[in-house]
């Protein structure tokens, strides 16, 4: 085969392969929707994180603003220390409230941020002081039974 | 009785020594290929020719297989997911299975049977017809002139083929899931994008396909170079290439998956 024809085919092949990679990165993957470069890091301590995992989304008002990067157990406070990154475009006040929520009934768990009213913003490395732990079904049922039992005691009296 | 026992032990020893010798020979051959790779880049048209033969000519089988694998994933995934009312996760299922596993592995298996066998047969026949010896007589190093360009051609082609396999597979899943069955298009893409991470999934898939490309091409080259210079020898070597490299791909895939996706 003519060398120029072969070069043309190989060139087209390489370009098509690269295009496929770009499609995988931007259309299939999350590179188009979330910029990994410009982020700042925050952390929060929770009493219980339930089923939260590394890479779980951080959402505010339902919009994904960041991702969980690290989960550690703090042996001093006996709480879970969750580190996450937030996109630089989004700023949150100092008294922002972090909750662990569940998407749907059986969905994955994520961190929800409720912005407070402070005039100062959270900066890189700051800690979110106010947190709410994940809802654990067993505890919930336990509480329910306990209150039912208490009610039953009242009516029997 | 003792003679037979000694004979049996000797048989085991012979096989072990043979196997170790062959592995050492393969490792030295691989090292020599890497060492003599300079010419494949200095005279890049040699490598381009091999990319054409192993990459461009494998395109049709890769694209058609990818499309159909994606469409079947779409059909089967929908069957199961709709039982739980979560057919919106179809995009996630199709994309993750393709990008993480099926793309690199199936493309490598097809590549082994389409291009690997051709490489083995070609080099085996070149050896049988003493073309390699003739090159040595002319002070042309056959490893640098024949083996290394084929190696780099395969290593460059493999990740591109795997990426195309995955991309067209996702398109196949889209065709069946969204166009044919009628899963919501927005949910299909947005759930997929939420679940597929670039570094975790796409880059790991590419790393896998590069490793598979190295393994398949190196095995094909070695089997061809090592083939007995007879018609039967070349035919056996070609068969061995497909079997060995397919098994190597599956074994490597398990090891890589265990390292990449453990606990993630």
pLDDT per residue as tens digits for the range A103-129:
766 667 889 999 888 888 888 888 888
Q: What is the pTM of this model?
A: 0.77
Q: What percent of chain A has pLDDT over 90?
A: 11
pLDDT of residue A50: 83
Of the pLDDT bands very low, low, confident and very high (cuts 50, 70, 90), residue B216 is very high
**Mutation site, A2, A6, A9, A10, interface B, largest B CB count within 10 A:** A10
Q: Please report residues of B whose CB lies closer than 8 A to that of A18.
A: 160
Considering only CB atoms, B45 lies closest to which of A3, A28, A64, namely A3
With an 8 Å Cβ cutoff, is B84 touching chain A? Answer: no
Query: Do B194 and A25 count as a contact with CB atoms less than 8 A apart?
Result: no
Mean pLDDT of A120-147: 86
Of the pLDDT bands very low, low, confident and very high (cuts 50, 70, 90), residue A36 is low
Rounded-to-integer distance, Cα A132 and Cα B63, Å:
50
Mean pLDDT of B197-217: 92
The residue with tokens 């035919």 is B235
Q: Please report residues of B whose CB lies closer than 8 A to that of A20.
A: 160, 163-164, 166-168
B182's torsion region: left (phi>0), alpha (psi -120 to 50) or beta? Answer: left
Q: Is the pLDDT of residue B176 over 90?
A: yes
Considering only CB atoms, B49 lies closest to which of A6, A24, A27, namely A6
Q: Please report residues of B whose CB lies closer than 8 A to that of A13.
A: 51-52, 55-56, 59, 157, 160
Measured in angstroms, the CA of A11 and the nearest CA of chain B are apart by: 9
With an 8 Å Cβ cutoff, is B90 touching chain A? Answer: no
Tokens, residue B237: 């070597």
Rounded-to-integer distance, Cα B135 and Cα B152, Å:
20
Helix axes B103-111, B148-174, angle to 10 degrees: 130
For residue B12, give the DSSP letter.
H
Query: Do A20 and B164 count as a contact with CB atoms less than 8 A apart?
Result: yes
> What does pLDDT average to over chain B?
91
With an 8 Å Cβ cutoff, is A35 touching chain B? Answer: no
Burial of A14 per CB tally in 10 Å (0-12, 13-18, 19+): middle
pLDDT digits (tens, 9 = 90+) for B121-149: 999 999 999 998 899 899 888 888 899 99
Residue in chain B lying closest to A57 (CA): B194
Mean pLDDT of B161-180: 94
Three-state secondary structure call for residue A108: coil
pLDDT of residue B191: 82
More confident residue, B261 or B251: B251
Half-sphere exposure of B250 (CA within 13 A, CB side): 7
Query: Do B194 and A55 count as a contact with CB atoms less than 8 A apart?
Result: no
Q: Do you know the residue count of chain A?
A: 157
Of the pLDDT bands very low, low, confident and very high (cuts 50, 70, 90), residue A65 is confident
Lowest mean pLDDT among A119-123, B4-8, B252-256: A119-123
Give which of B240, B181, B253 is closest to B213, Cα–Cα. Answer: B253
With an 8 Å Cβ cutoff, is B158 touching chain A? Answer: no
């Amino acid at each position: 085969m003519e060398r120029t024809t072969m070069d043309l085919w190989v060139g087209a092949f390489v370009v098509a392969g690269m295009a496929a990679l770009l499609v995988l990165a931007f259309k299939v993957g999350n590179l188009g929707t979330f910029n990994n470069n410009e982020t700042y890091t925050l952390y929060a301590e929770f009493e219980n994180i339930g089923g939260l995992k590394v890479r779980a989304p951080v959402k505010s008002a339902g919009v994904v603003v960041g991702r969980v990067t690290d989960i550690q157990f703090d042996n001093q406070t006996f709480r879970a220390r969750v580190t996450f990154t937030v996109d630089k475009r989004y700023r949150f006040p100092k008294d922002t409230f972090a909750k662990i929520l569940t998407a749907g009934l059986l969905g994955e768990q994520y961190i929800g941020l409720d912005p407070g009213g402070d005039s100062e913003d959270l900066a890189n490395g700051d800690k979110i002081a106010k947190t709410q732990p994940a809802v654990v079904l067993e505890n919930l049922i336990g509480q329910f039974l306990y209150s039912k039992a208490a009610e039953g005691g009242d009516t029997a009296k | 009785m003792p003679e037979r026992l000694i004979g049996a032990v000797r048989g085991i020893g012979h096989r072990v020594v043979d196997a170790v010798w062959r592995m050492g020979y393969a490792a030295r051959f691989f090292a020599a290929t890497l060492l003599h790779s300079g010419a494949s880049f200095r005279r890049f048209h040699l490598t381009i020719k091999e990319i054409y033969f192993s990459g461009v000519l494998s395109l049709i089988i890769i694209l058609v297989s990818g499309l159909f694998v994606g469409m079947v994933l779409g059909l089967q995934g929908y069957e199961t997911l709709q039982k739980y009312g979560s057919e919106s996760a179809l995009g996630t299922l199709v994309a993750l299975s393709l990008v993480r596993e099926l793309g690199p592995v199936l493309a490598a298996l097809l590549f082994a049977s389409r291009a690997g066998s051709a490489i083995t047969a070609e080099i085996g026949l070149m050896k049988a017809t003493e073309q390699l010896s003739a090159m040595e007589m002319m002070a042309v190093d056959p490893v640098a002139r024949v083996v290394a360009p084929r190696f780099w051609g395969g290593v460059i082609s493999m990740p591109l083929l795997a990426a195309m396999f995955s991309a067209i597979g996702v398109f196949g899943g889209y065709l069946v899931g969204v166009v044919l069955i009628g899963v919501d298009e927005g949910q299909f893409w947005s759930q997929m994008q939420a679940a597929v991470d670039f570094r975790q999934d796409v880059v790991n898939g590419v790393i896998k396909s590069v490793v598979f490309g190295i393994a398949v091409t190196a095995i094909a080259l070695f089997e061809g170079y090592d083939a007995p210079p007879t018609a039967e020898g070349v035919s056996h070597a070609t068969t061995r290439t497909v079997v060995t490299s397919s098994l190597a791909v599956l074994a490597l895939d398990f090891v890589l998956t265990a390292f990449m996706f453990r606990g993630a």
